[in-house]
Amino acid sequence: MFQSSELIASLSTSIAELHGAPQPENALPSEEALTHARGALLQHLPSAGVGLEATLKHLREDIVPGFSASSRSSNYYGFVTGGTTPAAGLADNLVTAYDQNVGVHLPKETVATNVEDRALSLLCELLKLDPMSWPHRIFTTGATASNVVGLACGREYVITEAAAVRSDSETSVGEIGIFEAMHRAGIDKMQILTTVPHSSLSKAASILGMGRASIKLVGLEGSTHRFDIPLLKKLLTQPGTASIVAISASEVNTGLFATTGLKEMQEIRSLCDQYGAWIHVDGAFGIMGRILNSPNHASLISACEGLDLADSITGDGHKLLNVPYDCGFFFSRHREIASRVFQNPNAAYLSAGGDTDIMSPLNIGLENSRRLRALPVYSSLIAYGSDGYRDMLERQIGLARGIAGFLLDSEDFELLPEFTGSRADVLNNIYIIVLFKAKDEGLNKELVDRIKATYKIQLSGTAWEGKPACRFAVSNWKADVKRDLPVIKQVLDQVVATWKSEK
Ligand X SMILES: *Cc1c(COP(=O)(O)O)cnc(C)c1O
* Residues at the contact surface with ligand X, assessed by CB under 6 A: 80, 142-144, 198, 200, 252, 282, 284-285, 316, 328
Q: How far is the CB of 474 from ligand X (least distance, A)?
A: 13
DSSP per-residue string spanning 426-461: HHHT--SEEEEEESSHHHHHHHHHHHHTTSS-EEEE
Alpha-carbon gap, residue 225 to 139, rounded angstroms? 28
Q: Which helix (H) or strand (E) holds 498?
A: helix 481-502
What's at 171, amino acid-wise? Answer: T
Q: How far is the CB of 411 from ligand X (least distance, A)?
A: 32
Nearer to ligand X, 144 or 171 (CB): 144
Alpha-carbon gap, residue 324 to 172, rounded angstroms? 36
Q: How far is the CB of 473 from ligand X (least distance, A)?
A: 9
Q: How far is the CB of 290 from ligand X (least distance, A)?
A: 15
What's at 199, amino acid-wise? Answer: S
With beta carbons less than 8 A apart as the criterion, state whether 265 and 309 touch: yes
Q: How far is the CB of 266 from ligand X (least distance, A)?
A: 23
**DSSP-H helix ranges across 287-417:** 298-304, 335-342, 374-409
With beta carbons less than 8 A apart as the criterion, state whether 116 and 374 touch: yes
Nearer to ligand X, 278 or 285 (CB): 285
Q: How far is the CB of 247 from ligand X (least distance, A)?
A: 10
Nearer to ligand X, 150 or 174 (CB): 150
Per residue, the 3-state secondary structure of 63-111, as one string, reads HHHHCCCHHHCCCEECCCCCCCCHHHHHHHHHHHHHCCCCCCCCCCCCC
Nearer to ligand X, 181 or 304 (CB): 304
Q: Which of 154, 354, 333, 162 is nearest to 240 (CA)?
A: 162
Nearer to ligand X, 254 or 444 (CB): 254
Q: Which of 210, 201, 160 is nearest to 339 (CA)?
A: 160
> Coil, strand, or helix at residue 310?
coil
Nearer to ligand X, 276 or 306 (CB): 306
With beta carbons less than 8 A apart as the criterion, state whether 375 and 91 touch: yes
Alpha-carbon gap, residue 414 to 425, rounded angstroms? 16
Alpha-carbon gap, residue 338 to 348, rounded angstroms? 19
With beta carbons less than 8 A apart as the criterion, state whether 192 and 186 touch: no
Nearer to ligand X, 163 or 320 (CB): 320
The rounded radius of gyration (Å) of the Cα atoms in the chain is: 24
Nearer to ligand X, 143 or 182 (CB): 143
Q: Which of 17, 77, 39 is nearest to 454 (CA)?
A: 77
Alpha-carbon gap, residue 468 to 448, rounded angstroms? 9
Q: How far is the CB of 143 from ligand X (least distance, A)?
A: 3
State the Cα angle at 463 between 459 and 465, rounded to 5°: 145
Q: How far is the CB of 206 from ligand X (least distance, A)?
A: 15
Alpha-carbon gap, residue 199 to 219, rounded angstroms? 16
Q: How far is the CB of 341 from ligand X (least distance, A)?
A: 19
Q: How far is the CB of 216 from ligand X (least distance, A)?
A: 18
Nearer to ligand X, 276 or 328 (CB): 328
Strand-pair partners of 246: 194, 280
Nearer to ligand X, 140 or 160 (CB): 140
Q: How far is the CB of 148 from ligand X (least distance, A)?
A: 10
Nearer to ligand X, 80 or 362 (CB): 80
